Structure formats: structure tokens, C-alpha cells
Amino acid sequence: MEKQVVGKSRAAFLSGRSRPLEFRVQQLKALRTMIAERESEIATALKQDLNKSQYAASLFELIGLEGEISLAVDRLAEWAEPRPVEKTLLTITDQVFIQPQPLGVVLIIGAWNYPWALTIQPLIGAIAAGNAAVVKPSELSEHSSRLLQELLPLYLDQVTSSSPFVSKTQELLRQRFDHIFYTGSSSVGKLVMEAAARHLTPVTLELGGKSPCYIHKDSDITIACRRITWGKFSNCGQTCIAPDYILCERSIQDRVVEEISHTLQEFYGDDPMTSPEYGRIISQRHFSRVMALLEGCTVALGGNNDQSQRYIAPTVLTDVAPDAKVMQEEIFGPLLPIVTVSGVDEAIRFINKREKPLALYVFSSSNRVIKRMLEETWSGGGDGERCDDALHTQLPAVWRRHSGMGRYHGRHTFDQLSHLRGCLVRSLALEGLNEARYPPLSPARLRKARYFLQKRLCSCATVTCLHIIRIASSPPPQALYSVLLYYRFDCTSGVISAIIIIITITITIINIIIIIITITITITIIITITIIITIITIITIITIITITITIIPIIIITITITITIITITIIIITITIIIITIIIITITIIITITIITIIITIIITITTIITITIITITTTTITIITITITITIITITTITITTITTITIITITIIITIITITITTITITTITIIIITITITTTTITITTITIITIIITITIIIINPHNPPSLFPKRRNAGVTITPGN
């Protein structure tokens, strides 16, 4: 069965289903959904296995898992992308990077003390890295393992992310995996590593060890004991990073016991056995093992037990001898020995004489003491003034020798379960650089190979090819600082190299200045053109308004004159009609008087005269009116035509002036920009050509004559700074 499980998982991995990032994210989100939806069932299983309360189940198991999943989902794209690496002179034109790739099929063997956290955390990393996984939970946490077996296939892809559970660990270890992740005891860890060695399979072992806790006399003992009590007796002492024993001076031992007693009463009440927050030992076998460790020890606090309930009260042991049975193996239970030492020096010696622990805890108000402990001891992790390593998901869980090997948490799990593949993509160009390695070899080719393969420009131990590449590509202030601070000008090639660097920096500065000047001139010209066009527009508008204001009175005057002329004409016509009427009346009177004497004879003559007179007057009047109207029309037409012509001429003149000024301005601007561009381009090309020629001459001199000529400058180095080859 085990062989079939592994074969099915390997076939699934080779199909490529687990590699796309979208699939990995989907599986991680499904895992998070499982935790959220089945939280109550998980808490019930943990209560049955270890008597964990619902709140303890969330705090120690589920919250951390949700954080790990969220971190992986948010950062997976960043973790999986190619990682650039530093280049050398030989690879400066190549693509050099590290590509994370899935390992293949990963075996995850979980632990019973935190059956969900210590099984699913590695699974999160395996999924994120694109692997297929075979999960083997601990059979000791029976209820959690059974529930885990039921839930995972419901939420995860059964083929690519998890496989059916197997019960025989030894048979499973005979199969070939690409990585084995084991959490458990050191004795089983050795068997796992031995089985992995048959296939040269890499392993990650989270084992354990006796994690010391040093309390310095200047520490706040109340706070120290509160944190130690929480870290030690949570989960009934069955935590791999729990403080295994206390080191302190004899003068504060009683105070430590007293403070631990107060804290235990605060946490678990008068009787921890009835407290819902206090756990139980996982099995009868482990209960008997822990109780056997009390042999030959003085119990200062606790010691009560009930085998039927697998209950052991929180117990503190005082004046424990270094060779006592309880000090020979990891306790992994609620027993806390106190070993007295004379001070920090003896504590450091005591720790270093034993196997490297998984964790180390230091409580002191002196940074000097904490620093000494961290620098002069060895452990998987170190913690000053705290006892809560497990809550820091960004810190890697690291193990050394007896406590295990490898690291995980967050990105560290991803890297641990990935193959970090080094990639070099080289162009087929610049083949001339490779001639130094092709036969037939010669002294000249050997010198060329030495130049490119070693990081030195000469036999001087401080000036290297890599330094030049770094500094030449750095910002000018940083590059100049590096030249002045770190370089020794004690050989010709070193001096020339420094000169090349300074020239490069100078060119960079000159180019920046030229670009700034060009941008400034261009902006100035654009602003000037804008101002000129604005002024011309304003003048045009003012002119048109002025002309309009001037023409309107002329038109009004013309209309007024025309009306006056028409009025005068009407008056003249009226006067003429009145005069004619008077003449007619006078003539009528004369005729009337004359009629008396000449009635018949002159009637015809008078009628004829009157008719002729009326006709003459009428003709004259009509002629006068016609002449007046004609003169008026001619005057109005002349004024109108003159006004329209004048406005048209003025408008055309303004438009021509605007067009002329605009064309002249644009032409001058274009010519100026072209001249500036030609000047900048010519200057840049000239400076770059001089630099390239200088570099070629320098490299040629160094290749032809690699030996040190007499020093041009006395040796000098920055006080307190020594640069070694390859730095």
C-alpha cells in the first residue's frame, strides 16, 4: 500500500498539476477554509487527545496556521520568482539568477503534541513550493489524526497535495522521497535519517532537546517567572521549545519558586487538575516515563499525579544535581528542575558542555549579559527576556545537531522544500573572451584567464575587477567615497583603475549637468514663446475692440446726418408747397378780381397759365426730392464701403503680423534646440569615446604587463579598515 501511495503521488507531481501558482494558491485557500469551517470539530479532537481547551486550541494550533497560510498566499508570487545574484566581470553580460523549483514528493511525518500545527505547517510549505505530499500524522493523537484524515481529502486535491494516510512509518520510510520532514523525538529522528540515507534523501528534522533558561539576579524575577511558567506548563509541558530547566544563582532560587507558585495559582487556580486550561500527558507510556524522572529529586512545588487521567501537576524541583536522571534527557512534561550556578560564566560553561539545545532563554536587565549568552553559547534559537519563540512566524525555527536540522516557518519553509536552481544564460556573442580556456594553452592565454577568473586587476590585494564593476555602477557620491576610503594606490594598474573610475564618475556628472541645462533651456524657450503669443493675442483683442469702439460713433454720426438731410428736404418740400399754395391763392384772387372785367375772354388763358405753373412746380419739386434722396443714398453707401474696407484692411494686417511673429519665433526656437542638441550629442560622444579608449588602453596595459611596477604613491589605508581579496 505504501508503495502505491508514493507512486500515485509521484505520478501526480510529474503530471505538472501542482506547479502553477494559481493551483497552489487555490489549495492554500482551501486549507484555510477547512480550518475556519471545522474549528469546533478540531477543538473537540484536541480536547479528547490532550485536554486542550477551545481557546488553547485556537491560540496554539489554528491562529498560527491561518497566519502561515495568509502569508504564503500574499507572498507566493514573490517567493517563486527568479532571484538575481551578484555578477562578476566574466558574467556581467549574462543572465545569472536562482530559480526556486519544486522538489517532488515530500513525506511529512507529524507530531502528537501539536497534531494540527506540526503537521499542517510543513504541508503549507510543501503546497506553496509546488510539491506533492504524503502526510503521516502521529498515531498517538488518535482523534486528531482520524479527523485530519477525514477532512484533508474533502478540501484538498487528493492527488497532488495530499495522499491517503498510511499507518506503518517504517514501511513508508523504505520508499524513495525527494524530501522528508519529520517532527518528533531524537531517537526516531535518527531512524528517519538512517532510512533517508539509503536514497540520499534530504531531511528536515524538528527534534527537541533540553532548552536552558537562565535567570540573572538583576532580572525582574516576577515577570521572568510568569513567562517561564506559561512557556513550560502550557500543553502540560509537551512543547519542543519549552524551557527544560532553570539556571540561576542560589540566592534567588527560593524567590523563583515563590513567584512560579503565585503564577500557577493565577493561571490554573488552587487545583490545576480541575482547571480547563491545564492539559494531560498524551499516553500512559509517556506518563510513566515522566514520573520516572523524579527519582532522586527534591520536589519544591507540585508533584501530585493521577495515572488514570494521565495527570501530573506542575512540578518544580530545586537543588537538582547536573548528573540527576531528570537532566539526562528531554523532559517533555510538567517538571521544571532548577540548577544553581555561581553566575553567568558558570551558566555558559554548563550549557556548552551539553548537546546543543533547540532554544535558549535569557532573562536579564543587562544587555551585556544577554549579548554574552547569545555570542558564547550555541542553540537553534535564542530569546532574551521572552519565552515565546513559537509566536514569531517570521523567525525561522532552526535546529542544530541533536535538536535537529533545517529550518521552517513562512518563506523558510518554502525555501527548505524547494530546489534553488542556479541558472546562467549566456549569449553566443563575445566568444573572444572564452579563447583563454581553449587549447592550445599558452602563457598569454593563461594570463588572460587569470585576469577574468580571479577578481583582481593586478597582483595588488585590494583592487579587484569586482570592485571596479561595483563602484563604476554605483551613484557618484558612493563611488567616489569607495575610491577614497578603500583603495590603495600602490601600483600603476591600481592608479589607472582609479583614474578610470573617476573619469566614469565625471562623465556621469557632466551628462547629468548637460541634461539639466537642456531641460532648463527648453522650458525657458517654451515659456518665452507662450508669453509672446499671449501678448500678441491680448494686443489683437485690444485693437479689435478699439476699432469697433471708433467705428460705432462714425456710423451713428452718418445715420444722424442722413436723418438731418432727409428732415431738411422734407422741410424744403413743405415750404415749397406752402409757397406754391400762396401763389395759387394770390393768382386765384387776381383771377377772381379780373374775372369781373374779363370773364369769358381770359378764362382759357388763365386756366392754361395755372396748369403750366402747377406742372412746373410739381416737376421741380420731384426733381429736388429725387436729387436729395440720391445724394443721401450715395453718401450712406460711400461711408459704409469705406468703413468695411478699413476694418478688413486692419484685420488682414493684424493676422499677417501674428503669423509672421509666430513663424519667426518657432523658427528661432527650433534652430536653438537643434544647435543645443547637436552640441550635447557631440560633447557626450567625444567624452564617451575618450573614456572607452582610456579603458581599452588600461586593460591592454594590465593584460600585457600584469607585474607590479614601482609604486607611484606611498601605501595608505583608512584607519581601522582592511579590505581583503574577494570582498
CA–CA distance, 467 with 444 (Å, rounded to integer)? 24
Rounded alpha-carbon distances, angstroms, from residue 157 to 20, 39, 133, 347 = 14, 20, 11, 51
Task: Write the CB contacts of 562 (distance below 8 Å, at least 6 apart in sequence).
Answer: 632, 635, 636
CA 408 from chain centre, in angstroms, equals: 23
Q: Is the dihedral of CA 273, 275, 280, 284 positive or negative?
A: positive
pLDDT band at 694 (very low <50, low <70, confident <90, very high): low
In the block, residue with C-alpha cell 563602484: 471
The secondary structure of 224-271 as a DSSP string is HHHHHHHHHHGGGG--TTS--EEEE-GGGHHHHHHHHHHHHHHHH-S-
Each residue of 544-575: pLDDT tens digit? 777 777 777 777 777 777 777 777 877 787 78
CA–CA distance, 225 with 338 (Å, rounded to integer)? 12
pTM (global) more than 0.85 = no
- 434 within 8 A of 388, measured Cβ to Cβ: no
Residue 727 pLDDT exceeds 50: no
- Go through 103-130 and write b for each residue having 16 or more CB atoms within 10 A of its CB, e for each that does not: bbbbbbbbbbbbbbbbbbbbbbbbbbbb
- Ordered alpha helix ranges (H), 17-62: 21-37, 39-50, 54-57
Res 698: pLDDT: 62
- The predicted model gives 100-105 an average pLDDT of 95
520 vs 362, residue with greater confidence:
362
Element at 206 (helix H, strand E): strand 203-206
Residue 474 pLDDT exceeds 70: no
The backbone torsions φ and ψ at residue 247, rounded to the nearest 5 degrees and listed phi first, read -110, 125
Res 528: pLDDT: 79
pLDDT band at 600 (very low <50, low <70, confident <90, very high): low
Each residue of 476-506: pLDDT tens digit? 444 444 444 434 444 445 555 566 667 777 7
- Go through 32-43 and write b for each residue having 16 or more CB atoms within 10 A of its CB, e for each that does not: bebbeebbeebb
What is the chain's percent helix, strand, coil content, to nearest 5? 60, 10, 30
Strands 132-136 and 105-109: parallel
The secondary structure of 128-184 as a DSSP string is HTT-EEEEE--SSSHHHHHHHHHHHHHHS-TTTT-----S-HHHHHTS--SEEEEES
Q: Show which residues are catalytic.
A: 206
Each residue of 312-351: pLDDT tens digit? 999 999 999 999 999 999 999 999 999 999 999 999 999 9
Report the 10 Å Cβ neighbour count for 207.
Answer: 24
In DSSP terms, 312 is beta-bridged to 305
Strand ranges, E, within 487-590: none
Helical axes 465-472 vs 492-597, angle rounded to 10°: 20
CA–CA distance, 422 with 607 (Å, rounded to integer)? 139
